[in-house]
Amino acid sequence: MQKIIILDFGSQTTQLIGRRVRELDTFCEIMPYNKFPQDDPSVIGVILSGSPYSVHDPEAFKVDLSQFVGRIPVLGICYGAQFISNTLGGKVEKADSREYGRANLETINLDNPLFKGFEKGSQVWMSHGDTITAIPEDFKVIGSTKDVRNAAFASTKQPVWAVQFHPEVFHTLQGTQLLKNFVVDICGSKQEWSAASFVDSTVAELKAQLGSDRVILGLSGGVDSSVAAVLLNRAIGKNLTCIFVDHGMLRKNEFTQVMDDYKVLGLNVIGVDASEKFFADLAGVTDPEQKRKIIGRDFVEVFNAEAKKITDAKWLGQGTIYPDRIESLNITGKVIKSHHNVGGLPKEMHLQLCEPLKWLFKDEVRRVGRQLGMPEHLITRHPFPGPGLAVRILGDITPEKVRILQDADDIYVRGLRDYKVKLSGEEARKVLAAGIPADMKDGEIEVSLYDQIWQAGAILLSTVRSVGVMGDERTYEHPVALRAVTSTDAMTADWAHLPYDFMAKVSNEIINKVRGVNRVCYDISSKPPATIEWE
C-alpha cells in the first residue's frame, strides 16, 4: 500500500498532519525524525514536521536529507522548512518578534502545483520564533506574507517544497487543499485508504495471522475495544473470548448496559465484578499516579486469573490505537501520565499480542465501527479513562464518593444527550464530515450537545467542602466540577462553550438530586496547559 512518511521533530501538531493526510484517503505513518525507512518501496512522499527547537539549538533534531531528497517528493513544515533551508545553504535567523497567529499570503505563485486552487490573500497560521532570511540556491519563493517574505519556497531542480506556516491547523483556511496538492497531485496517491478497504484487508490479515487460534480480548466499554472486538469477531467468530472487568468505578449502570450491548453484537463476553478488590487496594490512596498504577496492576491480576481459565488461548487482543503508540513513544522521552493500554504483556501470560486498530486514529476507528454496522451510541461514546472515576475523584476513593460522582455524571451526560442544537455552515460541515448522522433541512442540521463534544464528565472535589444553604439549613458538602472539551485528537483541546440555559438546568438538577453536593463549577481550561482529565 502507498504511504506518506511524516518525520516527527516533536511538534504538538504532528498527529494533526497525519489525520489530515488520512482524510485524503491516503495511508501515512508517523515516525521519529531519525527513523526514515530507506528500503520501503511503498513510500511515495515525506513530510517534515514542526519542532519546539530552533535549528540552531545544540539539542535540535537533525536528519540526513540525502536519504530522500531527490528520490521522492518532500514537504517541510515550519521547523521542517527551516531545517531544509539551513541544511541546503539558506539562512535561518532569530525573528525580531515571534511570528505567531493569523497571516495572509499576499503573494502566491498560483502556477506552482503546491498552490493549485488557492485564492490570493489566503489565510495561514504562523507559529515560530526563527525566520528564514535566505533560501538555498536553486530554490525560489512561491509565497509571501506581509512580514514573512520566504513563507513558502520550492526547489527548481528537485521535488522539494517548504512552508513556514502550518497547513494542518484549522486556521490555515486552505491547508487541506495544500496537503491534497502535495499528497495526491505531487506524490501521486491513488487514495485507496478507507474504512471499507481497512475492514476487508484487516479481516483477511487477521484470518491469516490467527488461523484457528483462540484470542482473549479485554473490553472496556469504550469505542476502541468494542470496534476491535467486532472486527476480530468477524474474522474468527467463536474463537474470540472477551473479558469485561468491573472495577467499581465505571459510569452509573455502565456494566449492565455494556454487557447488554455486547450481547446484541453477538460477542462472547465474560463479565467479572471485581469492585471489592479494587476498593480495598485503593483505600487511603490519594496520589493520582499511584491510583493509576494500582488499578492497572489489579486489572492485570483479575484479567489474568480469568484468562488462565481459557487454557488454549494463544493471543491477547487489545484496542490500542495509533495515538496511544505515538504518545507513548514521544521522542522527547517525557511522560505526562501513564497509559493503561500500552506497554507490553505480563510475562506470565505467555500470549502474543494482536492489535487490529494499531494504525487508526480515533475518528477512523469510528468510521470503521460504522462500516461494521455497530450501533451509533457505541460509536459516538466519549473517551473514558481506563482507571474510570478514580481519576475524576480528587483524594482517596470510597464507594460513597463513587456513588456521588456517578449520580452527578449521569445527570450531566444525559443532559448533553437530550439538549439539541441547530447548526449551519462550517459548524454543520464539521459534524457531517465526522460521520455523525444528521438530517439537513433548510441548510441546518440538529444534533445533541453530546455529539459536538470530544469528551465530557464530572469531577468530584472530595478534598474540598463548601458552605451552602438548603431548606433554610446550612450545608457543608462537596463541589462538583463539570468538564467538556472540543478536540480532534486529544493532543490539544479547548473548553466547550455550553449554553447558559443548559448549564443552569444541569447545575440545579445535580444540587437538588445528588446527596453530598451543594455547588457546581465549570472548568474553562484548555489543553495545554491543563490536561483533559484532572488527574
- Catalytic positions, written as ranges: 78, 166, 168
Cell of 297: 496492576
- 3-state SS assignment for residue 358: coil
Q: Give the three cell numbers for residue 264.
A: 446484541
How many whole angstroms separate alpha carbon 293 and alpha carbon 466? Answer: 31
What is the DSSP secondary structure assignment for residue 527, as one 8-state letter?
A: B
Antiparallel, parallel or unpaired: β 107-108 and 517-522 = unpaired
Q: Identify the three-state secondary structure at position 467.
A: strand
Closest of 123, 168, 127 to residue 143, by C-alpha: 123
Alpha-carbon gap, residue 360 to 144, rounded angstroms: 36
Contact between 243 and 272 under an 8 Å Cβ cutoff? The reply is yes
- 378: exposed, middle or buried (C-beta count within 10 Å: 0-12, 13-18, 19+)? buried
- End-to-end CA, the chain: 40
Calculate ∠ Cα 90-92-93, nearest 5°.
Answer: 145
CB 189 within 8 A of CB 26: yes
Q: Which three cell numbers stand for residue 510?
A: 445535580
399-418 and 500-513 helices, crossing angle to 10°: 150
